[in-house]
Amino acid sequence: MKKALALLLALIMALSLGAVAYADGVTLNVVTSYGGDDGNRGNFEAAVKAYEASTGNKVNDGSATSNEEWKAKVLTDFETGSEPDVLFFFTNADAEPFIKADKVVSIEEIRAEYPDYASNMRDSMLAVASDGKQYAVPSYGYWENMFVNKAVLDDCGIAVPGPDYTWDQFLADCETIKGNGYTPIACSLVEVPHYWFEFLVMNNGTVENHLDVPASVDDEAGAKWVAALEDFKTLYEAGYFPANTLTASDAETVEMFNQGEAAFLIDGSWKVGYFTENAADLNDFAISYVPAKGERKASEAIGGISMGYFITRKAWDDPAKREAAVEFVTQLTSDEVLSTFVTTEVTALINGAKPSGLNPLQQSAADANANITAIAGAVQDTITGEAKADLFGNIQNVVTGKMSAADAVAAAIALN
């Protein structure tokens, strides 16, 4: 018992000593989404090291994997006053709580003192908050499009779809693929239906009105959301999704696509890295186009810039940290650094990014992107987290007929 007590006292002393001996140079607390499995984690860490070396400042890097839980934690930090100095975060509705609370500094205010701040960016491509100001300096954007497994298509005698791919052709192809014993569409309806949701909505509307959020089930946007959910049901009833799509994880369905058991997968630019690392032969895969219905063209896709660097009010008001924070964002968004991040994604850089040494899949993505005629942001990013969770959670109820598409959309609208 005495030993334990002695140990305990020693611990407490160590803890309190540690608390005191911590005040050397400028240390920036930085939180980003470049943690976990992010493909650019290595690039980010290298850029941070370079910053530390060139300035002598220290970076306390609290990066994590971006998901709803992470977003909630970041918002909680602002609420409780424990926010970081620099934050790399979503620039859409998610950022509104701390923008409204005046917890971050606008680019305009920073430029009053540092006129060159973010001068390498096209201002027109920076996200505008609800108060009309711009806050975040973007790093790079994203695209969402259709990945195809060429080996599976070959085996079924189907050519890789081009930018004129139609919905009817797609349905016919799915039937052929299914008849050959493959799964046409790799998708976990229970976990990640949102990529398909975006394109099905756009298929029932246009790229221009894609971001319209319904105010009621009966308005134009409401009608296209309902039609999108009904398209889900059509595909489900035809048996084009995996047999266990209502219980499979996203990792499982992506892997079945990777293993050559499914033909089509809609996913984002971040998935290219997954195949680069895990595919047996990258030449088996290509980036194609999502089949189009109605007014939409298959060459129209989802994409944009959804994240950027914020400097918090807390850091700005701290004379020791202001300069360090501005320098950090400037270095992390320089042309040279961003060119290491960008491979085929959208960029706001005035001079554009100059990626080099693309692998076959990245090349395929670059080729497909060259044919893209228009992009729209993801409409799911503009609705509240609760509405989103409810809507996507109800897709399984709609396809199994437990709930009507209109009811599902109405429930989501009520939560938005």
**Which is closer to another protein, CB of 255 or CB of 335?**
255
Least Å distance, CB 56 to another protein, is: 18
**Which is closer to another protein, CB of 16 or CB of 371?**
16
Is there binding between residue 281 and another protein (CB under 8 A)?
no
**Which is closer to another protein, CB of 5 or CB of 370?**
5
Tokens of 43: 């690039």
Tokens of 164: 């004129």
Binding string, 138-177, against another protein, x = CB under 8 A?
A: -----------------x----------------------
Is there binding between residue 215 and another protein (CB under 8 A)?
no
Binding string, 11-50, against another protein, x = CB under 8 A?
A: x--xxxxxx--x----x-x-x---xxx---x---------
Cα separation values, 211 from 116, 195, 382, 407, 413, Å? 33, 14, 8, 21, 14
Q: Among residues 73, 111, 336, 414, which is the contact residue for another protein, using CB under 8 A?
A: 73
Is there binding between residue 413 and another protein (CB under 8 A)?
no
Angle between the N-to-C axes of helices 385-399 and 194-203, in degrees from 0 to 180, rounded to the nearest 10: 80
In 3D space, the residue among 128, 66, 50 whose CA is nearest the CA of residue 305 turns out to be 128
**Cβ neighbours around 167 below 10 Å, total:** 16
Least Å distance, CB 167 to another protein, is: 26
Q: Among residues 276, 393, 406, 407, which is the contact residue for another protein, using CB under 8 A?
A: 393
Reported as type and span, the H/E element at residue 184 is: strand 183-185
Q: What one-letter code names the amino acid at 46?
A: A
Angle between the N-to-C axes of helices 405-415 and 385-399, in degrees from 0 to 180, rounded to the nearest 10: 170
For 104, phi then psi, to 5°, come to -125, 160
Q: What's the chain's length in residues?
A: 416
For 180, phi then psi, to 5°, come to -85, 5
In 3D space, the residue among 188, 176, 231 whose CA is nearest the CA of residue 405 turns out to be 231
Instruction: Tell me how many residues contact another protein (CB under 8 A).
Output: 68
**Residue ranges that bind another protein, judged by CB under 8 A:** 1, 4-5, 7-8, 11, 14-19, 22, 27, 29, 31, 35-37, 41, 60-62, 64-65, 68-69, 72-73, 75-82, 84, 97, 155, 180-181, 190-191, 243-244, 246-249, 251-252, 255-256, 261, 274, 277-278, 384-386, 389-390, 393, 396-397, 400, 402
